[in-house]
Amino acid sequence: MRSIIFNALFWGLAALFALLCYALSFLPWRAPLLSCMIGFCRSARFCLRYVAGVPIDVRGVAPKAQPVILAAKHQSYADGPMMMAIIGDINFVIGNAIEKFPLINRIVARSGATMVNSQGNTQAPGALEAAIKRSHGEDRPLLIYPEGGLAAIGETKRYRKGIFMMYQTLDREVVPVATNLGLRWNQDDWHKTPGPAVVEFLDPIPSGLPREIFMQRLQEAIESKTRELEAEGQAFQEQKA
């Protein structure tokens, strides 16, 4: 029953805020659109906690208004909204699978975000280069999912080269982000499992490392901590049962 109520609220709010954001996207100022997007994300976090029974525990230091790259694990439809609910104004690279939702293209473009092909084919490099170009001089985090798509619990997908392109070109620190949110909202599953979820910001990786060292360090940081968080979340479920 909780899942049914939450889904009705979440998608109802998504439709309402999408219409509002679409209207605001025609204004010459970005701030009203951004405020509306953040409002939706914080509403979604509220509903997750008080309707679905999924409180989000934020660990580590969330880099607000800092020119860093956030490289995050992606297990759930909720990952993006929760990141914006936590941090606020972020630039983000998003897969084009979201195009199936009406009005999204214009909202994404006007928000300053970048849409790339979810499968990482030839459309992605040009879009990533555009994202990098827009990010020069910005004092806000840039969010990217290095695996290029949703991963199942316990799964590690190939880390794509786009993250290194950003790291090298922008010469910024990268903050790895681990999560176990997929245990509560698995990928695009309509069923939600009550219990705490964690989003953890890990120690930054300094700029200037060679590709092989950087990619290995990034993947080890994200995947090892994610496995720990998954085990923690599964232990909670076993105790509850």
- For 137-179, give the DSSP string: T--S-EEE-TTSS---TT--PPPPTHHHHHHHHHT--EEEEEE
Tell which wins on pLDDT, 28 or 201: 201
Measure Cα distances from 157 to 53, 148, 220 in Å. 29, 8, 12
Sheet with strand 69-72: strands edge to edge: 56-59, 197-201, 174-179, 69-72, 142-144, 91-95, 114-116
The number of residues in the chain equals: 241
- Cα–Cα separations (whole angstroms), residue 149 to 93, 95, 189, 191: 11, 7, 15, 20
**pLDDT at site 39:** 95
- Entry pTM: 0.89
Domains of the chain: 55-240 (3.40.1130.10)
**E strands present in the chain:** 56-59, 69-72, 91-95, 114-116, 142-144, 174-179, 197-201
Q: Which residue has the higher pLDDT, 154 or 100?
A: 154
Statement: residue 236 has pLDDT above 90: no
Q: Can you tell me the mean pLDDT for 108-131?
A: 62
| Per-residue model confidence (pLDDT) at position 121 | 41
Q: How confident is the model at residue 122 (pLDDT cuts 50, 70, 90)?
A: very low
Measured over the CA atoms of residue 150, residue 156, residue 158 and residue 160, the dihedral's sign is positive
